[in-house]
């Protein structure tokens, strides 16, 4: 409470800290008959920017800094790794389709199987249901996805016909990168708008290069599974079964690397290296940097109201 | 206070006599209007003045005496002084000229036995010591009280004042004035009949009204009616502005009709109408053919652009079919075009503006297909732009908050995001195709609008140009005064200051600005930036813009 009286309520007070300290140092011979009080509502025989020697006593360092341990950080970093792997897996699938080595029916069937399994697992894990979300609503959503994708797939197929392949690749790469950058790793369910949209845009661009409308449909459905539904399941898994989560992440990562290895071993090696760096080196870097953290807090911070104000807000 | 005497320039060299004019109450200044020459009988002068005063309701008085020295007229001074006793007033001015000098002197005699303010023969103190006199010479133009009885000095008195250059034509003017009253009445009656016809219920049905408000001929007709109503009202114009408005409308109407008759005399000779009709149909055909070729070009790969093939083909076929319809319509019309043109040409006898309006309407009707294309293209493009802008917000996880008029963040459902992104992708990739069609048809439309705009501008120019005011400014600049300016005429020590008051005529620009007849504004109301913005987002620019646009 006392702090709030002194600093006022705006961040501007931070800017005048310098002059306040100067005032304290440059004016040692102030009349000391009246003790100085840190209030602005009284007229005192001191200049407005005067503070006394007790000013820096309230300085505190690294108040809210958390000390991390290595293995939990590695565990969390697994989320990033597996997302990278997801993208790699999707690209591998697309490449197979593009080469004609994977039939859309196969992919659709596999996708359906995965979706059913995933949905079963999701329900089995339990947990709070989103409000107003019944099984019927889920079914409705699924129907909408399928119907729209199926209906639009001929349009999507001809969409980028006249755009050069390089442009499409560049655009997709950019969008998938944007997906990785903006993915909300801390709170992956529901997936953030921008990341999901970027991923869908990129996958639609890629899917439109495929030879047939059914291919496009299968690819977009696959993108939906990988980028929209899988993060939901993973989040549920992390919440409800913390033990199973690292295994799932590792499995997906390995799956991504393995899939890529079947098409281009060099790319797989690169991906594996990147994942290793992300999982093992980046946490080390974080821990090392954390020790150098120097955060100061003090009376110049913005005021925080600790009282419960809910009774004023009816 | 300095006594100001306004002295007409025409009386500078007048013979000696009495000064007639009036005092401006409260301003310590006198306006001299005329000089009555010797010989006169004082009783006659008084009677004459009272008669004038009754007729003109301007207070006239004998201000003083005027002496112009001539050989054989010495010794007038005492006589003039005596005159002041015959015409009793508060102050008596005694102006006299000396031979060979430019300025003249003034003596003010007060009636109530005070000493004369001027000392001796000179009036000192023109440097503001309280009793100075300033002469302001002015050009006398049509002094109303004296001109009411302009009898060319055949009365009992001899006067010097400004003479008009002659009123020989005044008989014709008077006759015209007399004749104009029944003419005006007849015209008013005809006009009321016409307006009654126009306001009948059949012509006020919404579709008829809509069409007539878009046809420039109808708009011009309504403006001409309004103008004629103004001119033919038998009431006298009250103020200067109203009089000028009437005169301007009258003159420009006559010029317009004269130009129209000229056009008719040119058009209806040597079989020009049928030649025109014979060229019109091939021209329309040619335009349609060119459009067809343009569409074929657009349906390929125009200027190296790679457009969406499917959409391109759909749009191209749609527009081609439209042109096909148009060509058949033109061919159906072609036998009647000549007679139609013949009758329409008769419109020109109502004025050149009508002929131009009809031309504008014909152009509008003949390029209706371009207008249609423009509307389709603009609507499609507008839909795309609005869809893309709102889907782009969805793409970023934002939405437009209608209540607060700002963009808020919003968490969408999974299916909303999915469908939104799908549509966004589709719209984005189809945008170049639509935009190209829109661009081409907008350019075509702008060419037509530019042509029509030029015609409308010229019609508006004829309608609103203040011909009468311009002519007045050219021939009688003093009638349109902006103000007065003073020039020092003669400044000698010991003599009153002589100033020349000249009329500052109105600038030509201001004449245009003041006396322009207000017309319907055919100029675009948007600024260039607003127009470009509208073109960019695909709103319809001209015409058929929604009047009461829904805001918010």
Q: Report how far apart, in Å, the C-alpha atoms of B194 and of each of B90, B215, B226, B520 are.
A: 63, 19, 11, 21
- Comparing A142-146, B73-77, B235-239, the range with the smallest average pLDDT is B73-77
Pairwise CB contact (< 8 Å): B425 & A193: no
Using omega within 30 degrees of 0 as the cis cutoff, is the peptide bond preceding B39 cis?
Answer: yes
Pairwise CB contact (< 8 Å): B426 & A224: no
pLDDT confidence tier of residue B389, bands split at 50, 70 and 90: very high
**H/E element holding B107?**
strand B104-110
Q: How many pairs of residues across A and B have Cβ atoms under 8 Å apart?
A: 81
B415 contact residues in A (CB cutoff 8 A)? 141, 144-145
Question: Which of B84-98, B411-425, B494-508: highest mean pLDDT?
Answer: B411-425
- What is the structure's pLDDT at B121? 38
* pLDDT value at B482 more than 90: no
Query: B413 vs B117, which has greater pLDDT?
Result: B413
Q: B178-196: per-residue pLDDT in tens?
A: 777 788 888 888 888 888 8
> Any CB–CB contact under 8 A between A167 and chain B?
no
> Any CB–CB contact under 8 A between B181 and chain A?
no
Pairwise CB contact (< 8 Å): A193 & B419: no
For residues B455 and B229, give the distance between their C-alpha atoms in angstroms, rounded to a whole number: 25
* pLDDT value at B160 more than 50: yes
Q: For A39, which DSSP code?
A: -
Give exposure, B67-81, as e/b (b: 16+ Cβ within 10 Å): bbeeeeeeebeeebe
> Which among B309, B394, B414 has the least Cβ separation from residue A141?
B414
Pairwise CB contact (< 8 Å): A200 & B422: yes
- What is the structure's pLDDT at B28? 79
- Residues forming beta bridges with residue B498, ordered by sequence position: B135, B490
Task: Say if residues B512 and B464 touch (Cβ distance below 8 Å).
Answer: no
> Any CB–CB contact under 8 A between A234 and chain B?
no
> Any CB–CB contact under 8 A between B304 and chain A?
no
Pairwise CB contact (< 8 Å): B421 & A163: no
Pairwise CB contact (< 8 Å): B395 & A197: yes
Task: Say if residues B20 and B62 touch (Cβ distance below 8 Å).
Answer: yes
Non-local CB neighbours of B149 within 8 Å, separated by 6+ positions: B51, B52, B55, B155
**Which of A147, A162, A209 best probes binding to B when mutated, by most B CB atoms within 10 angstroms?**
A162
* pLDDT value at B473 more than 60: yes
Pairwise CB contact (< 8 Å): B419 & A156: no
> Which among A158, A190, A196 has the least Cβ separation from residue B310?
A158
Q: B261-313: per-residue pLDDT in tens?
A: 888 888 888 778 888 888 877 888 888 888 888 888 887 766 666 777 888 88
A230–chain B nearest CA distance, Å: 12
Q: Phi and psi at residue A66, in whole multiples of 5°?
A: -100, 145
Find how far residue A293's CA is from the centre of its chain. Answer: 23
B298 contact residues in A (CB cutoff 8 A)? none
pLDDT confidence tier of residue A62, bands split at 50, 70 and 90: confident
Question: Could you tell me which of B70, B77, B57, B140 has the C-alpha nearest to residue B99?
Answer: B70
> Any CB–CB contact under 8 A between B313 and chain A?
no
pLDDT confidence tier of residue A283, bands split at 50, 70 and 90: very high
pLDDT confidence tier of residue B472, bands split at 50, 70 and 90: confident
- Residues forming beta bridges with residue B31, ordered by sequence position: B6, B22
Tokens of A137: 């609503």
Q: What is the three-class DSSP state of A44?
A: coil
* pLDDT value at A17 more than 60: no
> Which among B397, B413, B415 has the least Cβ separation from residue A194?
B397
B372–chain A nearest CA distance, Å: 27
A158 contact residues in B (CB cutoff 8 A)? 308-310
Q: Report how far apart, in Å, the C-alpha atoms of A96 and of each of A104, A208, A259 are.
A: 10, 15, 10
A161 contact residues in B (CB cutoff 8 A)? 308-309
**Which of B307, B409, B418 best probes binding to A when mutated, by most A CB atoms within 10 angstroms?**
B418
* pLDDT value at A19 more than 50: no
Question: Could you tell me which of B390, B380, B379, B397 has the C-alpha nearest to residue B423?
Answer: B390
- What is the structure's pLDDT at A150? 92
Pairwise CB contact (< 8 Å): A200 & B417: yes
- Comparing A157-166, A204-213, B16-25, the range with the smallest average pLDDT is B16-25
pLDDT confidence tier of residue A285, bands split at 50, 70 and 90: very high
What value does the mean pLDDT take over residues B12-30? 78
Beta-carbon-side half-sphere exposure of residue B456 (alpha carbons within 13 Å): 21
What value does the mean pLDDT take over residues B77-97? 71
Residues in B 364-423 with any Cβ partner in A closer than 8 A = 394-397, 411-415, 417-422
pLDDT confidence tier of residue B112, bands split at 50, 70 and 90: low
Tokens of A96: 């197979």
What value does the mean pLDDT take over residues B364-393? 88
Q: For B268, which DSSP code?
A: T
> Any CB–CB contact under 8 A between B314 and chain A?
no
Pairwise CB contact (< 8 Å): A193 & B306: no
- What is the structure's pLDDT at B77? 64
Q: Find the residue in B nearest to A142 (Cα).
A: B415
A205–chain B nearest CA distance, Å: 8
> Any CB–CB contact under 8 A between A155 and chain B?
yes
Query: B360 vs B163, which has greater pLDDT?
Result: B360
- Comparing A147-151, A277-281, B63-67, B314-318, the range with the smallest average pLDDT is B63-67
B212–chain A nearest CA distance, Å: 44
- Comparing A105-109, B242-246, B501-505, B515-519, the range with the smallest average pLDDT is B515-519
* pLDDT value at A125 more than 90: no
Tokens of A184: 């909300």
Burial class of residue B172 (count of CB atoms within 10 Å of its CB; 0-12, 13-18, 19+): exposed
Tokens of B485: 């300016």
Pairwise CB contact (< 8 Å): A197 & B424: yes
For residues A302 and A7, give the distance between their C-alpha atoms in angstroms, rounded to a whole number: 7
A193 contact residues in B (CB cutoff 8 A)? 394-397, 411-412, 417
- What is the structure's pLDDT at B146? 57
Pairwise CB contact (< 8 Å): A200 & B430: no
Pairwise CB contact (< 8 Å): A201 & B425: yes
Q: Find the residue in A nearest to B429 (Cα).
A: A159
Three-point CA angle A35, A36, A39, nearest 5°: 135
For residues A80 and A195, give the distance between their C-alpha atoms in angstroms, rounded to a whole number: 13
Q: Report how far apart, in Å, the C-alpha atoms of B471 and of each of B170, B247, B367, B515 are.
A: 20, 11, 40, 12
Query: B541 vs A56, which has greater pLDDT?
Result: A56
* pLDDT value at B548 more than 60: no
* pLDDT value at B519 more than 80: no
**Which of A148, A167, A193, A200 best probes binding to B when mutated, by most B CB atoms within 10 angstroms?**
A193
Q: B45-59: per-residue pLDDT in tens?
A: 788 778 777 777 777
Asked if ipTM goes beyond 0.85, one says no
Non-local CB neighbours of A30 within 8 Å, separated by 6+ positions: A36, A45, A46, A50
- Comparing B12-16, B156-160, B219-223, B373-377, the range with the smallest average pLDDT is B156-160
- pTM value is 0.70
Summary mean pLDDT of chain B: 77
For residues B386 and B195, give the distance between their C-alpha atoms in angstroms, rounded to a whole number: 45
> Any CB–CB contact under 8 A between B424 and chain A?
yes
Q: Where are the alpha helices (DSSP H) in chain A?
A: 2-7, 12-15, 17-26, 70-99, 104-125, 135-159, 165-182, 193-207, 213-223, 230-240, 244-263, 265-276, 282-291
For residues A244 and A232, give the distance between their C-alpha atoms in angstroms, rounded to a whole number: 15
Q: % helix / strand / coil in chain B, to the nearest 5?
A: 55, 15, 30
pLDDT confidence tier of residue A92, bands split at 50, 70 and 90: very high
Q: For A208, which DSSP code?
A: T
């Amino acid at each position: 409470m006392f702090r709030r009286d002194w600093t006022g309520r705006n961040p501007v007070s931070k800017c005048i800290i310098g002059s306040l300290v100067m005032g304290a140092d440059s004016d040692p011979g102030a009349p000391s008959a009246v003790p100085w009080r840190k209030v602005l509502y009284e007229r005192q025989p001191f200049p407005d920017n005067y503070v006394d020697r007790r000013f820096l006593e309230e300085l505190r360092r690294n108040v809210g800094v958390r000390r991390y341990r290595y293995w939990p950080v590695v565990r969390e970093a697994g989320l990033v790794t597996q997302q990278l792997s997801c993208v790699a897996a999707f690209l591998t699938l697309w490449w197979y389709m593009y080469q004609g080595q994977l039939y859309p029916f196969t992919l659709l069937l596999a996708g359906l199987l995965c979706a059913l399994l995933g949905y079963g697992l999701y329900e089995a894990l339990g947990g709070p249901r989103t409000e107003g979300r019944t099984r019927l609503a889920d079914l409705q959503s699924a129907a909408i996805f399928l119907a729209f994708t199926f209906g639009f797939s001929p349009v999507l197929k001809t969409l980028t016909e006249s755009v050069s392949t390089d442009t499409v690749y560049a655009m997709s790469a950019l969008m998938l990168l944007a997906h990785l950058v903006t993915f909300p790793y801390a709170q992956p369910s529901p997936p953030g708008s921008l990341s999901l949209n970027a991923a869908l845009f990129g996958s639609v661009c890629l899917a439109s290069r495929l030879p047939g409308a059914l291919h496009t449909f299968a690819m977009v459905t696959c993108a939906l599974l990988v980028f929209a539904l899988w993060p939901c399941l993973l989040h549920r898994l992390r919440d409800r079964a913390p033990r199973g989560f690292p295994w799932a992440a590792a499995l997906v990562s390995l799956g991504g690397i393995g899939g890529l290895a079947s098409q281009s071993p060099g790319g797989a090696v690169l991906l594996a290296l990147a994942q290793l760096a992300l999982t093992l080196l980046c946490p080390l870097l974080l821990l090392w940097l954390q020790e150098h953290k120097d955060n100061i807090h003090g009376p110049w911070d913005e005021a925080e109201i600790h009282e419960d104000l809910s009774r004023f807000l009816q | 206070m300095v006594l100001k005497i306004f002295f007409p320039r025409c009386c500078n060299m007048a013979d000696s006599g009495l000064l007639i004019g009036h005092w401006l109450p409260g301003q310590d200044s006198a306006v001299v209007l005329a000089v009555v020459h010797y010989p006169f009988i004082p009783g006659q002068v008084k009677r004459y003045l009272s008669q004038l005063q009754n007729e003109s309701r301007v207070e006239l008085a004998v201000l003083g005496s005027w002496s112009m020295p001539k050989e054989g007229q010495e010794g007038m001074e005492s006589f003039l002084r005596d005159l002041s006793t015959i015409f009793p007033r508060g102050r008596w001015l005694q102006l006299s000229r000396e031979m060979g000098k430019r300025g003249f002197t003034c003596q003010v005699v007060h009636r109530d036995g005070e000493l004369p303010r001027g000392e001796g023969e000179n009036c000192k103190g023109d440097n503001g010591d309280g009793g100075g006199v300033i002469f302001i010479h002015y050009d006398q133009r049509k002094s109303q009280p004296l001109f009411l009885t302009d009898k060319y000095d055949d009365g009992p008195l001899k006067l010097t004042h400004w003479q008009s250059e002659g009123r020989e034509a005044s008989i014709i003017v008077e006759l015209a004035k007399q004749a104009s009253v029944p003419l005006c009445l007849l015209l008013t009656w005809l006009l009321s009949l016409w307006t009654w016809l126009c306001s009948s219920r059949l012509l006020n049905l919404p579709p008829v009204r809509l069409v007539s408000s878009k046809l420039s001929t109808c708009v011009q007709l309504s403006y001409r009616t309004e103008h004629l109503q103004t001119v033919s009202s038998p009431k006298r114009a009250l103020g200067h502005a109203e009089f000028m408005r009437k005169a301007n409308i009258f003159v420009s109407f006559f010029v317009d009709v004269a130009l129209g008759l000229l056009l008719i005399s040119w058009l209806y000779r040597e079989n020009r109408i049928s030649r025109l009709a014979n060229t019109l149909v091939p021209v329309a055909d040619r335009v349609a053919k060119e459009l067809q070729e343009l569409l074929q070009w657009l349906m390929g790969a125009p200027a190296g652009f790679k457009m969406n093939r499917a959409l391109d083909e759909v749009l191209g076929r749609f527009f081609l079919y439209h042109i096909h319809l148009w060509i058949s319509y033109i061919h159906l019309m072609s036998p009647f075009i000549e007679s139609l043109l013949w009758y329409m040409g008769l419109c020109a006898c109502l004025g050149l503006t009508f002929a131009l309006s009809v031309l504008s309407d014909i152009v509008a009707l003949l390029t209706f297909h371009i207008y249609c294309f423009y509307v389709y293209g603009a609507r499609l493009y507008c839909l795309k732009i609005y869809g893309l802008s709102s889907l782009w917000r969805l793409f970023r996880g934002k939405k437009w908050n209608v209540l607060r008029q700002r963009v808020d963040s919003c968490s969408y459902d999974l299916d909303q995001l999915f469908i939104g992104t799908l549509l966004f992708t589709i719209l984005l990739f189809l945008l170049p195709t639509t935009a190209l069609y829109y661009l081409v048809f907008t350019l075509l439309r702008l060419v037509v609008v530019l042509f029509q705009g030029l015609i409308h501008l010229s019609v508006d120019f004829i309608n609103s140009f203040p011909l009468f005011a311009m002519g007045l400014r050219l021939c009688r600049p003093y009638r349109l005064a902006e103000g007065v300016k003073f020039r020092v005429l003669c400044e000698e020590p010991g003599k009153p200051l002589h100033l020349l008051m000249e009329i500052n005529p109105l600038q030509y620009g201001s004449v245009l600005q003041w006396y322009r007849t207000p017309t319907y504004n055919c100029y675009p109301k948007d600024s260039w930036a607003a127009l470009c913005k509208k073109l960019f987002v695909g709103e319809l620019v001209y015409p058929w813009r929604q009047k009461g646009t829904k805001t918010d």
